Structure 1
């Protein structure tokens, strides 16, 4: 329980600093202590609440609504499909495919540091990227390899990045609650556990946000890339183990 508490607090710090990453830190520990279904279900309520807070805090920096809604609503459809996969299918092939794609993206960024995804192209890719990320979120509890890769490729400023990814995560979490309840995973007891998990996670977010004030745009970009590398490594390790 101590390790779970520390993992949730560390996840809160990362989320406060970057706008994402709490499940990347917390879910591996929760899955090791319990199982993947427990970990994914437990993180839904904290994800919903913390992302609603970040949406409000960074609301003035949001991108055009048409882009954000296409990305987020497609993610909502995907998370419903992925939740079915959580119950019925093995996500190993999907996980490895996504991990390889993330590694290729990171290599491209280091080999061509000036490359960025133009907004007109990103607008056309918003729905497919959101759908793919949503499926991964529903099946594994972690959509960062797709969602963060897509937004990081646009080279958004930190406030724009945070509000966009927060809308995406909040919509998916809102859909996951009734879907997982219908599947018998989100019980009243699990909902209560989620509220309890919110305490260390949300409590550590202000510390991460305070630390982020000292980060340059370059440092923020590098931290996000490291976060992506960690998620890719986690996906591969989960499959191999």
Structure 2
């Protein structure tokens, strides 16, 4: 890894930590697409997974505890944990570029639909079987492309829950998925030989700096800014995924 790549990675991870503190989504959402362009998807996921789990736990501890909403997301979380195992095997065995293109398109369509206010809101919590299917889908996406954040955000957005409940529920979901994914990629030998593990430890420092800055500014962020910040991040993520898809044809 060259010096220029490390500098870019440091800046991106700091921004990802900041995003995590503001929106609840950060490391896989912001850093993984950029690091994928630099080093490839398996390497990017291996580098970011330890700090992803750490920031998930910190966010969960820091956020307001809305235990009453857990029942709305328990099936989503458990099925997501199951889906992530099969998704990680997809990461190893299948070229993820086509998946990136499809996902990027879905994200940009969601953003356009949201700004045009044509997406319906759930009048009540979706049926448990919908949560189960969607959880497996998100788990597969997380395992295969490190990209479940935008999709589960879209799902929770349509539930029309409060900002506090959104942050708590999405971080509960991420803790389950990311701990499962870290265990899976470790079992599959991603860190054998310790070539990537030192870089994954270095990734912790810029991410925590960004997270600390976000915590200092969080009370100044209004609900409207919060919503638009998430939509902007989804847009950036969608564009990066589409860029990765198009760029793959020239490799």
TM-score by length of structure 1 reads 0.90
Runs (4+) of structure 1 moved beyond 4 Å? Answer: none
1:234 corresponding residue in structure 2: 240
1:49 corresponding residue in structure 2: 54
Matches within 5 A, 1:51-130: 51-112=56-117, 115-121=120-126, 124-130=129-135
1:134 corresponding residue in structure 2: 139
Cα 1:143/1:31, change in 2 over 3 Å: same
Partners of 2:118 and 2:165 lie apart in 1 by 20
Cα 1:184/1:128, change in 2 over 3 Å: same
Cα 1:72/1:188, change in 2 over 3 Å: farther
Cα 1:122/1:194, change in 2 over 3 Å: farther
Note the aligned Cα RMSD (angstroms).
2.1
Structure 2 residues without counterparts, runs of 5 or longer: 1-5
Partners of 2:119 and 2:245 lie apart in 1 by 33
Residue 219 (str. 1) matches residue 229 (str. 2):
no
Q: How many residues were matched structurally?
A: 241
TM-score by length of structure 2 reads 0.87
Asked if the contact 2:69–2:169 (Cα under 8 Å) also holds between the matched residues in 1, the reply is no
Partners of 2:154 and 2:14 lie apart in 1 by 24
Per the TM alignment, residue 113 of structure 1 is displaced from its structure 2 partner at its CA by: 6.9
Per the TM alignment, residue 207 of structure 1 is displaced from its structure 2 partner at its CA by: 1.1
Partners of 2:7 and 2:181 lie apart in 1 by 27
Cα 1:95/1:63, change in 2 over 3 Å: farther
Cα 1:133/1:94, change in 2 over 3 Å: same
